[in-house]
Every structure is written in structure tokens, then in C-alpha cells.
Copies of this chain bind each other. A is one copy, B any other.
Amino acid sequence: MSLIVTGSIGIDTVITPTGRADDILGGSCTYFAAAASFFAPVRIVAAVGDDFPDEHMAVFDHFNVDATGLEVRAGSKTFRWTGEYQQDMNDRDTLDVQQGVLAEPLPAVPKAFRATEYVFLANTHPAGQMELRASFPQAKLVVADTMDLWLNTALDELKALLRQIDGLVLNDSEALMLTGERNMVVAAQKIVDMGPKFVVIKKGEHGCMLLHEDGVAALPAFPASKVVDPTGAGDSFAGGMMGYLAEADRTDLATLKRALAYGTIVASYNIESFSLERLKTLCRTEIDQRLAQFADAVRFDA
């Protein structure tokens, strides 16, 4: 089935305890699309400025992403983010942000994309997410991401969005902000009570939790010994998850659990390099091999 992601494309500068990379391709839409491309045809709706380098544009071709919905705006600047990770890689400081096109009107959804069945609304203002959501009247599954900024500044719109989507993906710290609950099981239930059929709480190196109307799932992160740059881990997780759901064309609990595992695996590859370098050389066979290792690591006989 077709899958679409609406979100940001950025030019990032990333500093980690072991290295630094300047002006690399980033953004939620980018990481999501690359991760999802291993499972299903991916369409994007996003915008960049006329400063966006050809070499970055070529990456979407590499992943066979349909970039018909990628607007290159003359006279505008691409979103730029500079961040630095602390020693433990869980904390990062944003050193600089230049909104560029993200401060401008949303990109348009091409007519040919309106029939897309699987929709991921990556993080942007929830009013914008609602507007985008309305562009996909035939969607079988709509999942959204969010961030602390909107919890602080657009909570009412976010709550309205929650009544219009099937699933929400967010970090544990965001789940705490949204519900006031430190216990993630209780927080997840409160979020499901706000509207969506399921919520996925991402816990970074500690894995993820799913609360679905039919049950619960909990997974650790893949026990990875190589972590070069965590940027895009959450987006590639969501991309692997949604990509698998679109491939399977099912949204039941068992399929969602397998989707969480695929998301975990693609994210574990993504963090092995800066930007999309590792994903560029990744193949589905490697994904399935690591998925089998992961299934073995979490399996026990009850």
C-alpha cells in the first residue's frame, strides 16, 4: 500500500562525543522516508529552500521516494539545525535553529497523493497536522508525531488532532508533559482515552511501549554496540514501523508489534552513522537478519 509522510527536511550540523558532521541531510521527513522505503513505496510532502544542495536531493532518488510533493521554494531557505550530544547520547543541546521554510505556509499535497492509505504526520504545529490530515480522506491509518513545543504552546489543537488520528508516537518525556503521569503505562492509557486507538511511547536507548485498545507491547532497544549519531532514531523508528504496516496492509495488534520491532531494527542501523550513510547501504536481508536476532534476544519460554 502507498505511504506518505509530511514533515521537515533539514540541513543539520551534528556534534557527538566522537565526531562532527557539517551540513548533512536531516529532518524528520527524510529519516522517516528512507527508513520506510525498505518496506513500501514512500511519498513525501515537504518544502526546502533554493539553497538545498543537489547532492541532498539525489538521496530521495536513491531511496526511490516519490518527491512530487517536495516544494523547492525560490527565495526561501531550507530548515537548518545544529545540535550537540552529551556524553551519554541521551541528552542533546540545540545550538542553532533556522526555521526557513518551516515558518512559511505548509506545502501543498499533490492531487495524486490524496488517495494515500497510510499517512504519517511528522511533527509540526498540530493545526497544520489537522490541515494535512484532511488532505487524505481515504486514509486507512493516520499516525502523528509531536514535540514538547506544541505541548507547551498548542495543547488545545493537539488534543483536537488526537480525536482525528488512529495512532500517536511520542517520547516518554512528552507523554509525561501531555498527561502529567510519570508511569508510562498510566500515561499511555490517558492518551488513548484522548482519542487515538493506540499510542507508541519511545524511550530512546530503552526501547518503546505500545498501548493499543487490544493489548500492550513493550520492547527494549536492539542491543547495539555501535552508536555514532542518534539523530533521526525516532524518525527512522516511525518510518520502519509505518513502512511495515503499509507493506502488511494490516493494523491489528500482532502486526503493530511486528512493526514496532521493524522500526527498532531500522533505527538501530540508522544510528550507526551520521545522516543516512548507513541506511544508504542497508538492504532488506540485513534488516530481517537483525530482526531475527532481536526476536531471539527478547524471546523466552513462558
What residues of chain A have their CB less than 8 Å away from a CB belonging to chain B?
87-89, 182-186, 189, 203, 206-207, 209, 215-225, 227, 254, 257-258, 260-261, 288, 291-292, 294-302
Residue contact A299 to B257, C-beta cutoff 8 Å: yes
A225 contacts B258, C-beta separation under 8 Å: no
Q: Say yes or no: B297 contacts A302, CB within 8 Å.
A: no
Complex contact B296–A298 (CB within 8 A): no
CA distance A68 to B288 in the complex (A): 54
Kindly provide the distance from the CB of A209 to the nearest chain B CB, expressed in whole angstroms. Answer: 6
The reply to whether B218 and A185 contact each other, CB–CB distance below 8 Å, is no
A258 surroundings in chain B (CB, below 8 A): 300-302
Could you say which of B207, B261, B294 contacts A220, with CB atoms under 8 Å apart? B207
Contacts A/B (CB < 8 Å), 17 sampled: A88-B182, A89-B182, A183-B225, A185-B225, A203-B206, A206-B206, A206-B220, A207-B220, A217-B298, A217-B300, A218-B220, A218-B221, A218-B297, A257-B299, A257-B300, A294-B302, A295-B302
Q: Are B183 and A300 in contact (CB under 8 A)?
A: no
